[in-house]
Homo-oligomer: A and B are copies of this chain.
Amino acid sequence: MPDGIDVVRPYGDTTGDGMVQLSFTLPVPPGPRAEGAALQLAGKMGIAPAMVVHSHGIGGGGGGGAAFTFFVVYGPVRHLVDLAAVQVEERAYPLLSPGEVDGAIRAGLHRQLVVLGACIGTDAHTVGIDAILNIKGFAGEKGLEYHREMRVANLGAQVTVPELVARARAERADAVLVSQVVTQRDAHLRNTRELAAAFREAMGEARPLLVVGGPRFDPAMAAELGVDRVFGRGTTPGEVASYLVHALIGSRRPDTPAPEDP
């Protein structure tokens, strides 16, 4: 795509054709009414003309007919994508090498940076937070524990928010890193809001930097969730370390003061 072009459409097989593929299930038995309903939905989504290219009933057989219909729809969306208006959580900070990270902490903080990590709520998926924290790391990068200038405690899974607040206070944590993988019924959003509220209440302005991550987070949601930064799928330890340096040492943002120096 040549630079300078700001408005694009999805690309099926020709520039500008706007083609997309969509699938969903409606709680309607299969038949012309269901197909009409599917076309109505596709139309509301901006697909015109929409083609229902496949449908089949779900849950039928045996006694009763199917109560649901699954659809595959193809067609062009009329919407334009305005690249100029895209909100990108661009990395507003440089990606530092491990040596640079340690150097920055040494120079800027004159002590170890204290990082706490945990999975909160009933989430027991530790692989993601381990990938960020453990020496073994992720995608060829070593985790935060590797840094000489960081003191990292990985509290593991199913940690409650009050426990985490207490530990953060006790350890004088600079940053608290929380992983949330289960998203059913927006568990991850609820838990993150609860986390933010608890830290706000317990520590006010003096709270540590709050960082959450997990594969289904939208990085643009940090403010809305009341945390400082959100990392999504495929995050690497280096990105997180660089961010910590940026936020806690480099260019401290006015609205997220770091904890008082001891």
Closest Cβ neighbor of A32 among chain B residues: B88
CB of A261 within 8 Å of the partner chain: no
CB of A100 within 8 Å of the partner chain: no
Closest Cβ neighbor of A46 among chain B residues: B45
Residue contact A11 to B32, C-beta cutoff 8 Å: no
CA distance A182 to B4 in the complex (A): 35
Chain A contact residues: helix, strand, loop or mixed? mixed
A27 neighbours in B (Cβ, 8 Å): 1, 8, 11, 15
CB of A39 within 8 Å of the partner chain: yes
Residue contact B8 to A86, C-beta cutoff 8 Å: no
Residue contact B39 to A10, C-beta cutoff 8 Å: no
Residue contact B90 to A32, C-beta cutoff 8 Å: yes
A22 neighbours in B (Cβ, 8 Å): 20-23
Size of the A side of the interface (Cβ < 8 Å), in residues, is 53
Known contacts A20-B23, A51-B216; decide if A81 and B33 are in contact (CB<8 Å).
no
* Nearest CB in chain B: distance from A135 CB, A: 28
* Nearest CB in chain B: distance from A17 CB, A: 9
A29 neighbours in B (Cβ, 8 Å): 1
CA distance A29 to B53 in the complex (A): 29
* Nearest CB in chain B: distance from A241 CB, A: 18
**CB contact list, A12-70 vs B, under 8 A:** 12, 15, 19-29, 32-33, 35-37, 39-41, 44-47, 49-51, 53, 67-68
Known contacts A24-B21, A32-B88, A89-B32; decide if A79 and B44 are in contact (CB<8 Å).
yes
* Nearest CB in chain B: distance from A130 CB, A: 22
Residue contact B44 to A46, C-beta cutoff 8 Å: yes
Residue contact A10 to B25, C-beta cutoff 8 Å: yes
CB of A82 within 8 Å of the partner chain: yes
A85 neighbours in B (Cβ, 8 Å): 40
CB of A171 within 8 Å of the partner chain: no
A26 neighbours in B (Cβ, 8 Å): 8, 10-11, 81
Contact with B along A58-102 (1 / 0, CB 8 A): 000000000110000000010101110111111000000000000
Known contacts A49-B218, A218-B51; decide if A33 and B79 are in contact (CB<8 Å).
no
Which positions in A face B, CB cutoff 8 Å?
A: 1, 8, 10-12, 15, 19-29, 32-33, 35-37, 39-41, 44-47, 49-51, 53, 67-68, 77, 79, 81-83, 85-90, 215-216, 218-221, 233
